[in-house]
A and B are shown apart, each in its own frame.
Chain A
Amino acid sequence: MTDVLSAPLVVEFPFTRSLGPVQSAFLTGLRERTVLGVRTEDGTVLVPPVEYDPVTAGELRELVEVAPTGTVTTWAWNPSPRRGQPLDTPFAWVLVRLDGAGTALLHALDAPGPDAVHTGMRVRVRWAETRTGAITDIACFEPYDGEPGPAEPTPHTGEFTDPVTRIVAPARLDYVHTPGRAQSAYLKALEGHRTVGERCPACRKVYVPPRGACPTCGVATAEQVEVGPRGTVTTFCIVNIKAKNLDIEVPYVYAHIALDGADLALHGRIAGIPYDQVRMGLRVEPVWSGAAGGSPHPDHYRPTGEPDADYDTYKELV
């Protein structure tokens, strides 16, 4: 589709998460090369540990140490590792029941190929060189043919010096965003300093920016209508807080502006007039940024010098 715009869109977020007492002990333990589990009411040892019994929902606090060796309970060979996964060479995803544990932990197994992996095989933890108190402190598992660890876990206080109490979990997802037909047409028109809306075939209202549907009638809009460039301030506010990375002196005015011919007000900054003289009904026109490669949107709106619009002409759009 040549008439539909598309652009890369990256969504990135570093969530900071606090750990409860059990998760804190487990992740701090990994930093210290110690694997902890928690004992449930029926005596099962959960590794990784959780704070509440998955069966009874009872609170769990009885920490125990299990061995860094264990048995694969199921596996899957991953020939093409994806970004963020533990190894960048082909590896096996594994659920591993560590010696002394009653449940299995998900991680990666470093093995030369799928023929070297089977359910029931013995593995051990390979520790990451730099450990911070995260599940990735286990770099991966590796095949192990030594002695099994003790079947009975040993009690552990869960206390460490300088415990990890929270983790930062970064995430990044990559998209190719396509805004669809209506918004593509709107954005393309802006490049020519024109503002284009769409008229609803049922109620005849002109929506700007158009999203392809009339929110009142629930039908597709298609007829393109050029609106503006002049418009009327329908309502406004005075901004007194300076936004980060925004090179605009405060106070400034942010307004709803009903462009001539539009049945929906859009918003923009008002300049070229002292902030305390902006008023409802003020007639304004867009000022486009001259910077090449800058935003295609108007930089701001300024007074046209016309007499103010009569309230009745825009009261439906406030």
Chain B
Amino acid sequence: MRDVAIVAFAQSAHRRRTDELSEVDLLMPVLHEVLGATNLKANEIGFTCSGSADYLAGRAFSFTMALDGVGAHPPISESHVEMDGAWALYEAWVKIMTGEADTALVYAYGKSSPGQVRDVLTRQLDPYYVAPLWPDSVALAALQAQALIDAGATDEPALAEVAARNRFAAADNPYAQLTGDVPAGGHLVRPLRTGDCPPIGDGAAAVILAAGDTARALCERPAWIRGIDHRIEAHGLGVRDLTDSPSTRLAAQHAGAFERPVDTAELHAPFTSQEVVLRGVLGLGDDVAVNPSGGALAANPIMAAGLIRLGEAAARIHRGQSDRALAHATSGPCLQQNLVAVLEGESAHA
């Protein structure tokens, strides 16, 4: 098996609106930054993969136009997932593991400001039984939150603490959209208050993956991907136990997360109640730095927020702040799909 690492990470300053920027305008500075960090040019990258969703901005095939920011001519080896960029990273990792590439550029972007995110996300639901009712993303998260409260796993004050801790941590994150003392606010959909929900915004992120000695040449302390896996649960919400996340547990197990403790965890939990579920199934103790970036409660550019968790976890390893970090990304309602990666610095591996 090859050793594959995240060797560079960049993200945009996430903002509520970016009317003056097209999607490629939003993305390009991030691509330049991540390529600049490795001194690689676009034509030296072995594989490029992106994650985005046309429904967010209502623009058909927007990812093909975003490719202009990469410099895709002469032709490059490229792919796209209509998912969070974390899944694009998974595809790129597979490409490197199979020996078809030694380096990969992975990027993701989301421009939510042109539309109504709560309405847009209803279009990813079961089209026969659920989507015709237009249950919005906050409503579905609130059903999960109430199930947790009924099960005694949390209560509204505990959820408010989750929000406060994330946004306090985000004060050190220059890219975050919502930081510091954010009021709990009124109920958006009870039991979730505005403070329990993520900010809506526009943003982009990119990482570079590299194998073996290439990674060592490009980065002083590569963040080696020791394991990565993703799992999905049943489509029907009423079939699932919303207080549990067996898909996260299984993905973490296959990624090797339970073999040794991690010191950092970047969790993709857009709603406070989801962090409660994830902490439980991942068995994260108080000694683990959970979301030192502020997580998705501080900045949630849809389709990029999961990739940012992988990038933030890797960046802590690059900086020497972490030896073994867990990164998690989610997609779909109520944590339907989950990806878990375990990243390590060189010294931890030795």
Contact = CB atoms under 8 A, between A and B. Distances in A.
A95 B20 contact: no
A213 B68 contact: yes
A3 B140 CA distance: 39
A218 B119 contact: no
A11 B58 contact: yes
B133 A85 contact: yes
Given A17-B127, A106-B130, A180 B22 contact: yes
B116 A173 contact: yes
B115 interface: yes
A242 interface: no
A1 B18 CA distance: 10
B150 A104 contact: no
A78 B139 CA distance: 7
A174 interface: yes
Contacts of A85: 133-135
B136 A23 contact: no
A93 B144 CA distance: 11
B143 interface: yes
Q: What bracket does the count of chain B residues touching chain A fall in?
A: 35 or more
Q: What bracket does the count of chain A residues touching chain B fall in?
A: 35 or more
Contacts of B238: 47-48, 73, 95, 97, 103-106
Given A85-B134, A220-B25, A23 B116 contact: no
Interface string B158-198: 00000000000000000000000000000101111000000
A75 B143 contact: yes
Contacts of B8: none
A18 to B, nearest CB: 10
Contacts of A178: 19-20, 114
Contact of B115 (A17, A107, A174, A220): A174
A50 B69 CA distance: 43
Interface stretch (B70-78, B211-219, B257-265): B70-78
Interface string B5-41: 0000000000000011111110010011000000000
Contacts, number: 190
A274 interface: no
Contact of B119 (A47, A75, A82): A82
Contacts of B131: 169, 171
Interface in A45-95: 46-48, 50, 54, 73-79, 82-86, 93, 95
A75 B281 CA distance: 23
A211 B129 contact: no
B58 A173 contact: yes
B150 to A, nearest CB: 5
Q: Which of A1, A19, A84 has the most CB of B within 10 A?
A: A84
A215 interface: yes
A212 interface: yes
Given A95-B238, A212-B24, A219-B28, A134 B132 contact: yes
A155 interface: no
Nearest to B115: A175
A93 B145 CA distance: 12
B63 to A, nearest CB: 13
Nearest to B116: A174
Given A119-B146, A174-B116, A182-B22, A50 B236 contact: yes
A183 B127 contact: no
A82 B70 CA distance: 39
Contacts of B120: 173
Nearest to A136: B132
**What is the predominant secondary structure among interface residues of chain A facing chain B?**
mixed
A67 to B, nearest CB: 16
A216 interface: yes
Nearest to A217: B71
B153 interface: no
B139 A76 contact: yes
A95 B150 CA distance: 14
B86 interface: no
A4 interface: yes
Contact of A76 (B55, B68, B146): B146
Contact of A218 (B19, B69, B127, B140): B69
A117 B233 CA distance: 28
A179 B123 CA distance: 24
A48 B146 contact: no
Contacts of B282: none
B96 interface: no
Nearest to B54: A11
A47 B131 CA distance: 16
Q: Which of A105, A108, A134, A171 has the most CB of B within 10 A?
A: A171
B143 A214 contact: no
A54 B139 contact: no
B146 A136 contact: no
A251 interface: no
Given A11-B58, A77-B190, A136-B132, A218 B70 contact: yes
A84 B134 CA distance: 6
Contacts of B59: 177
Nearest to B65: A211
8 contacts: A1-B19, A3-B20, A75-B143, A76-B142, A77-B190, A93-B189, A173-B120, A180-B20
Interface of A: 1, 3-4, 6, 9, 11, 15, 17, 19, 23, 27, 46-48, 50, 54, 73-79, 82-86, 93, 95, 97, 103-108, 114, 119, 134-136, 167, 169, 171, 173-183, 211-220
Given A178-B114, A212-B68, 12 more contacts: A3-B20, A48-B236, A54-B236, A74-B143, A103-B236, A173-B120, A177-B58, A178-B19, A180-B23, A180-B24, A214-B68, A215-B67
